A and B are shown apart, each in its own frame.
Chain A
Amino acid sequence: MNELWFCIVIFVTSLGAGLLGALSGLGGGVVIVPLLTIAFHVDIHYAIGASLVSVIATSSGAAAAYVREGYSNIRVGMFLEIATTLGALFGAWLTTKAPTQVIGIVFGVVLLYSAYVSLKAQHEVITQKADALAMKLRLLGKFPTENGEQAYVAQRVPLGFGMMWMAGVLSGLLGIGSGAVKVIAMDQAMRLPFKVSTTTSNFMIGVTAAASAGLYLHSGYLAPGLVMPVMLGVLAGSLIGSRLLVKAPVRTLKVVFSLLIIAMGLEMIVNSIKRI
């Protein structure tokens, strides 16, 4: 195998990951690291570097489409980004200290958890109760529904902020977008509408990842020859995926993708424990 073939194989794999990630709503980043480490024996530091860069690409690439829908809340996103970026700095610093096996085990657990969240039924609780802190920070808004505009006010802001910090730590430690944790922090902890949570989360993912990217760069995690096919593949896959989204059997894809993620999560845990 020469460099061209290596790049083609990595590109096609990443394209598939990006495609499935966009169609299932789970994001392509979450499977890139296990794919690179398990199937291609890439060191986890290079793998999380390549994954994180592709996470920025998909987040920024999808932004224009999300804005058009008019659900995302710029103030909620910006305020919570203080928590996610600080968490990401800490998480990225941890990657330079934590043993590879520990990163592998945490990654496996996060994979299993993401699969669980995506398969679980969602309960939406919207409230207009005037939470004092949320009013002061103007964490409120309206979003379009079939029955006119629906107003909402964020609740339990400190809890949401804390969970966002954790989402940031996981993003920096594992090179993922940690969209699942971000959405839970917003729709379960802060009681924001599901649509608002998912679109605002997409916006936040890129900024969170950018906070770790600097540290990854300085720590030498970004290998240009590897990042190139991964980033181009995931980006192409996710752009194609978002076009196909209307026609695709989303529920079935979600189940298939979740099973794949569970398998990878278990593989990563077992593999890491074996090497301790």
Chain B
Amino acid sequence: MSWNDKRIETWVGIMLRTGVLLAAAVVLIGGVLYIAQSHGRPSDYREFHGEPAQYSTLTGAATGVRTLQPRSIIMLGLLILIATPVARVGMCVIGFLFERDRLYVAVSSAVLLILLYSLFFHK
């Protein structure tokens, strides 16, 4: 079977679904631990303070996961989820490379760069 758009999309579809289910499973595990360790009144989200570095940076999340902080495990699941569309674009770059479609290698690379900029280079 040669590389064509349909084949790219089928692989991408399967990958996306797997990624989402994995992300949901990790979030669920983190969520159960989070509720188990909570006590007293629920968290208050009425006023915006901005999440601390532990939950707003990639390095912060990684540190928390190593010490099995429940909210950091949830964060890991969210990062897996955010990574699924990024991986989709990455797979399209490879797919278009196999198709030797130079124009769309460039187009999908541009989209990939924008996504990576948002994730890694901002702030």
Chain A residues within 8 Å of chain B by Cβ, number: 66
- Are the C-beta atoms of B20 and A1 separated by less than 8 Å? no
The reply to whether B86 and A67 contact each other, CB–CB distance below 8 Å, is no
Is the Cβ of B118 less than 8 Å from the Cβ of A1?
no
A33 to chain B, nearest CB (A): 13
A43 lies within 8 A of chain B by Cβ:
yes
Interface size, chain B (Cβ < 8 Å): 65
Q: Choose, from A51-59, A125-133, A153-161, A247-255, the stretch at the interface.
A: A51-59
A64 touching B35, Cβ below 8 Å: no
Bound: A44/B46 CA distance, A = 9
> Do B51 and A222 touch (CB < 8 A)?
yes
The list of the 9 closest CB pairs from A to B, nearest first, reads A220-B50, A214-B118, A6-B42, A3-B38, A67-B13, A220-B51, A64-B13, A214-B119, A224-B74
Contact in complex: B114, A89 (CB < 8 Å)? yes
Report if A174 contacts B (CB, 8 A): no
| Chain B residues, Cβ within 8 Å of A66 | 13
Would you give the shortest CB distance from B30 to chain A, in whole angstroms?
A: 7
Kindly specify which of A22-30, A77-85, A261-269 makes contact with the partner chain: A77-85
B1-29 at interface with A (beta carbon < 8 Å):
5-6, 8-10, 12-14, 16-17, 19-20, 23-24, 27-28
Would B20 and A67 count as touching, CB distance under 8 A?
Answer: no
- Could you list 8 A-B pairs, sorted by A, with CB under 8 Å? A56-B82, A63-B12, A63-B16, A65-B13, A82-B110, A86-B114, A214-B120, A214-B122
Q: In the complex, are the beta carbons of B42 and A2 less than 8 A apart?
A: yes
- Scan residues 87-123 of chain B and give those whose CB is less than 8 A from a CB of chain A: 88-89, 92, 103-104, 107-108, 110-111, 114-115, 117-120, 122-123
Please provide the chain A residues from 219 to 238 with a CB less than 8 Å away from any CB of chain B in the complex: 219-229, 231-232, 235
B76 to chain A, nearest CB (A): 10
Contact of A206 (CB < 8 Å), options: B5, B24, B85, B117 = B85
Minimum CB–CB distance from A179 to chain B (whole Å) comes to 15
User: Are the CB atoms of B42 and A1 closer together than 8 Å?
Assistant: yes
The answer on a CB contact under 8 Å between B34 and A225 is yes
The answer to whether B75 and A70 touch across the interface, beta carbons within 8 angstroms, is no
Which residues from A are CB-within-8-Å of B118? 85, 89, 92, 210-215
Give the residue among B17, B30, B46, B85 with the most A Cβ atoms within 10 A: B85
In the complex, chain B residues whose CB is within 8 Å of the CB of A229: 31
Tell me how far the C-beta of B17 lies from the nearest C-beta in chain A, rounded to whole angstroms: 4
Residue of B nearest to A100 (CB): B48
Residue of B with least CB distance to A50: B45
Chain A residues with Cβ below 8 Å from B41 are 1-3
Task: Tell whether, in the assembled complex, residue B51 and residue A232 are in contact, meaning their CB atoms are under 8 Å apart.
Answer: no
- Judged by a CB distance under 8 angstroms, whether B67 is at the interface is no
Cβ distance B80 to chain A, nearest Cβ, rounded Å: 11
A3, B117: Cα distance in complex, Å: 35
- Supposing A2-B42, A220-B50, A225-B43 touch, asked if A214 and B111 sit within 8 A by C-beta, the answer is no
Distance of B82 from chain A, by nearest CB (Å) = 5
Q: Judging by beta carbons under 8 Å apart, are A3 and B81 in contact?
A: no
